[in-house]
Amino acid sequence: MVKTPVRFTLNGQETGLFIDEAANLLEALRRGAGDLTPKQGCAQGTCGTCTVLIDGEPRLSCITLAQSVEGTHVETTASLGRGEMLAPLQQAFIDGFAAQCGFCTPGMLMAATALLRRNPNPSRDEVIEAISGNLCRCTGYEPIVDAILEAARSGGAAGTRAGHG
């Protein structure tokens, strides 16, 4: 099958991949770049589990053509925190028990990261709106909303800076 080159910045690192022409960004990130943090839930753009940031905007990587991210900045959950150092948002998810099975969590974190950068002090309604494209089948929405609000209170914009703690 014909492979096509694509270059973009992944979590601050210049990245170049040879991908199938029809590959979606999710497959390119997981199988190509080896970043397994975005998860595949529905592969049809309805569950939000595969949410990544493209130039700061939350996007569904399962219905994004990998070639289309040429030259952009792509961020995944792997950009949050470093090693033992977690971003305030991640710490708030831990403290608030905002993950059960954990499968929707990376998508939730990316949607919340985009929100908190755009709006460091969101209202509860704005948080709900921001994660309205993300499904949590464990139905733990309340702790997730609480955790995002707590992160806004404690850490401001969720850290994407290296070494943020």
Partner 1 sequence: MTTIEFRKDLFADERDDNLNEIGKPKLRQDIVGHVTGRSPYYDDHLFEGLLHMRCVRSPHHHARIRAIDYTRAEAMPGVVRIVRPQDVPHNINTLLSLINFGRDDEALLQPDKVAYKGEPVAAVIATSERAARDAVAAITVDYEVLAHVLDLDAALAPDAPIVNETYPNNTFDYHERFDHQKLRFGDVDAAFAQADHIVEDSYQMSPIEQAPLETCGAIAAPETNDRYVCYTGTQALFFSLGTTAKLLDMASSRLHFIGGTVGGGFGGKVDSLHEPLAVLGAMLTGAPVKFCFDREEEMQVGAPRGAERWHIKDGVMNDGRIVARAFTGLFDAGAYTRLSSYAIVKATGHLPGPYTIPNIASNVYCVYTNRTPATAMRGFGITGVDFAIECHMDQVAERVGADPIELRLINAYRDGDMKAHRRSAKNTALIECCQVAAQKAQWALSPQMAALSSLQGGGEGWRAQIPATPTDAVGQIGERRRQTVPLEPGQHGAPAGQVPAGQAGETVHAAPPQREDMQVAPERIGHRTAATPGYPASPGPQRSTPVVPPAHAPAYASASPSPRGTPAAPATRTFASPTPQPPPPLQASPAPALQDLSLQRQPPPSSPSSSSPSSSPLRTTGYQPLPPYQPQPAHHRPAAGGPGTSASNAPAASTASTTPPSPAPSPPPSTASPPTAPSGDGPASDAYRPEQPFQRGVKRPGVSRFISGTRRR
Q: Binding residues for partner 1, per CB under 8 A?
A: 1, 20, 22, 31, 34, 36-44, 46-47, 49, 76-78, 80-81, 86, 90, 93-94, 96-97, 99-106, 109, 135-138, 142-143, 146, 150
Residue (of 100, 84, 90) closest to 148 by Cα position: 90
State in angstroms the smallest separation of the CB of 44 from partner 1: 6
State in angstroms the smallest separation of the CB of 141 from partner 1: 12
Of 71 and 142, which has the nearer Cβ to partner 1?
A: 142
Of 21 and 71, which has the nearer Cβ to partner 1?
A: 21
Of 71 and 147, which has the nearer Cβ to partner 1?
A: 147
State in angstroms the smallest separation of the CB of 105 from partner 1: 5
State in angstroms the smallest separation of the CB of 81 from partner 1: 7
Of 6 and 26, which has the nearer Cβ to partner 1?
A: 26
Distances (CA, A) of 59 to 22, 45, 52, 74, 97: 18, 10, 5, 10, 25
Of 5 and 102, which has the nearer Cβ to partner 1?
A: 102
State in angstroms the smallest separation of the CB of 76 from partner 1: 7
Cβ atoms 28, 19 nearer than 8 A: yes
